[in-house]
Amino acid sequence: MGGFKWNVIEARMKKNVEEGKLGDERYRLVAFAIFGLVLFPSKIGVISLEAANVFVEYEYDRINPSSAILAKTMLSLNHCRMHGK
């Protein structure tokens, strides 16, 4: 299972700031980090390839999977609460 290390992405963002590039690439890197580290956590400090695939799909199709993921999480939590687990 491969992935992207967070410190590499962080270094790229710092380089953009130093060079005065505060445009779209920086926002995409932050969004990519959120997809990878928050929505699809794997190893600590690693963004999985699955998260990268979802992010690329979002970039091309503009379909955000966040609402579906949150809905599924709420259904799972409700199921656990109903069954006393």
The answer for residues whose C-beta is within 8 angstroms of residue 59's C-beta and 6 or more apart is: 28
Instruction: Tell me which residue of 2, 59, 60, 64 sits closest to 39, measured CA to CA.
Output: 64
Single-letter amino acid, residue 29? L
* Total domain count, the chain: 1
The predicted-structure confidence for 43-64, as pLDDT tens digits, reads as follows 777 887 777 777 777 778 877 7
Tell me which residue range forms the domain holding 15: 3-82
What integer best gives the mean pLDDT of the chain? Answer: 79
pLDDT at position 1 is 56
Tens of pLDDT, residues 1-57: 577 888 888 888 888 888 877 677 777 877 787 777 777 777 777 887 777 777 777
User: What is the rounded CA–CA span in Å between residue 35 and residue 69?
Assistant: 11
Q: What is the CA radius of gyration of the chain?
A: 16
CB 25 within 8 A of CB 32: no
